[in-house]
Each structure stands twice: as C-alpha cells, then as structure tokens.
Amino acid sequence: MPDLDSIFAPQGVIKEAQDLAAATFGADAAHFIVNGTTAGIQGMIMTSCRPGEKIILPRNVHKSVFGALILSGAEPIYMPAELDSELGIAMGVRSEQVEHTARNYPEAKAVFLLNPTYYGMVSDLPAIVATVHDYNMAVLVDEAHGAHFSFHPLLPPSAMEAGADLAALSIHKMLGSLTQSSLVVQQGSRFDPAYVKAVFNLTQTTSPSYVLLASLDVARKQAYFHGGKMLRRTINLANWVRHELNSLPGIYVFGSEMIGRPGCAGIDPTKLCINVRGIGLTGREAEEILRHDYRLQVELSDTGNVLALITIGDNKESVRKLVNAFHDISRRFPECSLLEREILLPGIPELALLPKEAFYADKRPHEFKAAAGKICGELIMAYPPGIPIICPGEIITEETLDYINKLKQKQAWLQGMEDPTLEHIWVIR
C-alpha cells in the first residue's frame, strides 16, 4: 500500500517521520527499528566491522553486544571498566584508557561506548569522540538509557551532541514509545545512510508493526514539543526523592558528588541507585520487600543496590510511594554498620577464539572446580558489578574461578550460565 511507505526503502511517510526524528535528535539521518535496541546494536557493529576486524569496547556492555559480535564476526578488544570501590558498581571508561587502547590497536575500526551505563554514569564522551576520530575509528554508542539526553541541559550530552557517528536509542525505555521500538541515529560522512539501512534490512522483520512505527513518531513529537518541560519535572522529582532517601539512616543514593571519580564524567540524575547495605539488606532483598510489601517494581537489584528509574511517566504521587516505602523500610530495618571487603576484579581473560567461532564450536559441561585452562563456552555475568566475568571463547583461569566463588558466597546475581548452580561450566571441546 503506497500510502504506508516501506521501512526497507522509505520514500513517503516513514521517510518524513525519520527525517523529523533526525532533526529532533540532532542527527543527519535516523532509522526506525522495531526489533529493539538489540537490533540497533547489531546493525551498528555489522556496519562498522567486517568479520575478523577489531572493535574496542568496555567490558560492561549489554548482552546484546555479545550477540552482535557473534553475528558480525568482529574481534572484541576489551577495555577494563572502572569499578567504584564504595558502591561496587561498574562506571564508565576513562578517556586515557580509550586513548591507550586506540594507540595499541590502531587497526581497530570502531570504538563502542555506553551513554550512560545501566547505573547512570557517563564517560567524557566529547573528549573520547575527538580522540577516537584522531585515530580514524568510528564511534558507536549504546544510548539505550540515554534517549532523553537531548532534551534538557541538566542531562549529560547525547551521543550526537558529543560528535559520535552512530547511536542506538531505546525510545521505548526513556521516552514514550512502545516496547521494542528504537531509533538509530547517525551523523557525519563516515557511513553512508543507504549502507546503514542496507545492514539493518538484513535483520529487520519484513512485517514491521505500524503501531510501533507510529509510536516512535508520536514519542518524537512529544519529546520535541514537551521534552524540556517533562524532563525538568522528572529531574526535579528524582532530585526530591534522592534528597528524601538520603535523609534516612543507612540509605544512600549517589548524586553529583560521584562526578570526577574515575570513569564518571557525569550522571543521569533521573536514575536512583539506592544503596541499602547500611540497613543490613541486600539489593535483592530490598527489591522483594518493595514488590511484595509496597507494590513497587524497581528496574534492577544487585547485592548492595536497587535501581529505580524516575521517568516522564512519573508524578509526585508515584514518587511519593517510593519515598513513603523507604521511610517505612528504614523504620523496619535500622541502620547497621556493614563493612564489606571489596572483591578485586580479575583481569580480562585471554581470547582464544572469536565470539563467532566460540558460538559455533562444540561445547560440553565441565566440572567447575577443574575448569582452569579450558576455553569457556558461555557468558557469565554478575550484578554487581554489572561486568561479564567470562565470555565465550575466553580462557578460564584460577583467578576467574576464585572470583566467581567469592561472588557466589556474597550472593551476587550471576546470569547467563546453563547450570545455575555452577557445579558445571560449559567449555569448548
């Protein structure tokens, strides 16, 4: 039906809506995605790397990136993520770390970054983009949690403002579109928009939902006309909650005092990472209590924190529920001094096989205790710190096994492995 245009070669209403989105997000071109930001990330990496080419990325990327590495056949060069010793969570990357890695791997085609991290930290993106471009590499940004950044000056710079080449934005997370609908934006001359579109067409469904497409257009329009006002209110609400919760004994929600610590050039004030160790709870326990006793669902929990998102969908009433719940929780669980010994992160394991090779290799379960020296066949991720401990194709070391054991003892949330008890770990034959 000509009036509906085609997402594969937009010429009509979809083109018009995408052009408006590009202008709204400060980009030269925009591509609507109905398979989530996951598809956006796959497309960005497949656009910039051919099989075997190198891509530099921090270790604390989302699991969709590991899928993109398998599909593209790219070789990952990981940068260690900074770890905040007080909160135990992964931060952004330092500009010096990016420069150092680019210098060591000048043949890499792209640098992939997060803006912001899951916990809401941002790296110094403008400085990093300038450095990476000096090395003639592309900058790709996972902006799944930063789709609102363009619309308020109190939020960190967006990837496009920072000069990145490509960014994938979850409009369905931080703005108002329906789940699964995302946007990829691009600027500059490094990638021809027609080529980017051709790559997305490889994985895009041939039956895109027009409900999702229309919701992207409506969310764009809402953000364009009302984004500033809505986000001012959202930031004020989040700052009010932060202030209220920080007045409770044993509860700590970080704010701008984090800025300047290694790997933190700025924060997204709308994310509330609520540390509950000071009242003797784990984040997992606090999540359960919030859900069952107060009917509040948080975004994420880990051993020390629950992560609450205040969004444009919130109002005084909804955030007051959170504040009241914590007033009550702090009465039920008095402040206690819980000194935790920081567990040092192991080094990034050596890569024996590319993610793609590891994915297609034969695998078998192997006794966990005796797995040192084997090539890992699965991805094991831990919250906190939100960094994969080992990825498929990497060599398991005693240090890695020891770290996993310590995380198990601390009841960290381990994810991704076939055997949840970790008596066995899948290795490559």
Closest CA to 53 of 68, 75, 20, 32: 75
Q: For helices 283-294 and 316-332, what crossing angle results, to 10°?
A: 120
**Which amino acid is present at 283?**
G
265 versus 279: smaller Cβ distance to ligand PLP = 265
Instruction: Provide CB contacts within 8 A for 314, sequence distance 6+.
Output: 234, 237
With 0-12 / 13-18 / 19 or more C-beta atoms within 10 angstroms meaning exposed / middle / buried, residue 373 is exposed
Q: Which helix (H) or strand (E) holds 241?
A: helix 210-246
118 versus 383: smaller Cβ distance to ligand PLP = 118
Q: How far is the CB of 376 from ligand PLP (least distance, A)?
A: 22
56 versus 248: smaller Cβ distance to ligand PLP = 56
Burial 327-350 (b: 16+ CB within 10 A, else e): eebbeebeeeeeeeeebebbebbe
Q: Which helix (H) or strand (E) holds 289?
A: helix 283-294
Report how far apart, in Å, the C-alpha atoms of 346 and of each of 303, 387, 398, 402 are: 18, 11, 10, 9
Residue whose C-beta lies closest to ligand PLP: 36
Q: How far is the CB of 275 from ligand PLP (least distance, A)?
A: 20
CA angle 359, 391, 42 (to 5 degrees): 65
36 versus 278: smaller Cβ distance to ligand PLP = 36
Q: How far is the CB of 182 from ligand PLP (least distance, A)?
A: 5
61 versus 353: smaller Cβ distance to ligand PLP = 61
204 versus 400: smaller Cβ distance to ligand PLP = 204
Q: How far is the CB of 187 from ligand PLP (least distance, A)?
A: 20
- Widest pairwise Cα distance in the chain: 67
Q: How far is the CB of 308 from ligand PLP (least distance, A)?
A: 15
Q: How far is the CB of 76 from ligand PLP (least distance, A)?
A: 16
41 versus 412: smaller Cβ distance to ligand PLP = 41
CA distance 219 to 417: 37
Q: How far is the CB of 259 from ligand PLP (least distance, A)?
A: 20
Closest CA to 368 of 415, 425, 323, 406: 425
In the complex, the residues that contact ligand PLP under the rule CB under 6 A are 36-38, 41, 62, 64, 118, 142, 144-145, 170, 182
Q: Is the distance from CB of 46 to CB of 202 less than 8 angstroms? A: yes
37 versus 101: smaller Cβ distance to ligand PLP = 37
Closest CA to 110 of 143, 76, 85: 76
Report how far apart, in Å, the C-alpha atoms of 373 and of each of 392, 402, 420 are: 13, 14, 21
**Which amino acid is present at 264?**
C
Q: How far is the CB of 363 from ligand PLP (least distance, A)?
A: 25
Q: How far is the CB of 311 from ligand PLP (least distance, A)?
A: 14
147 versus 312: smaller Cβ distance to ligand PLP = 147
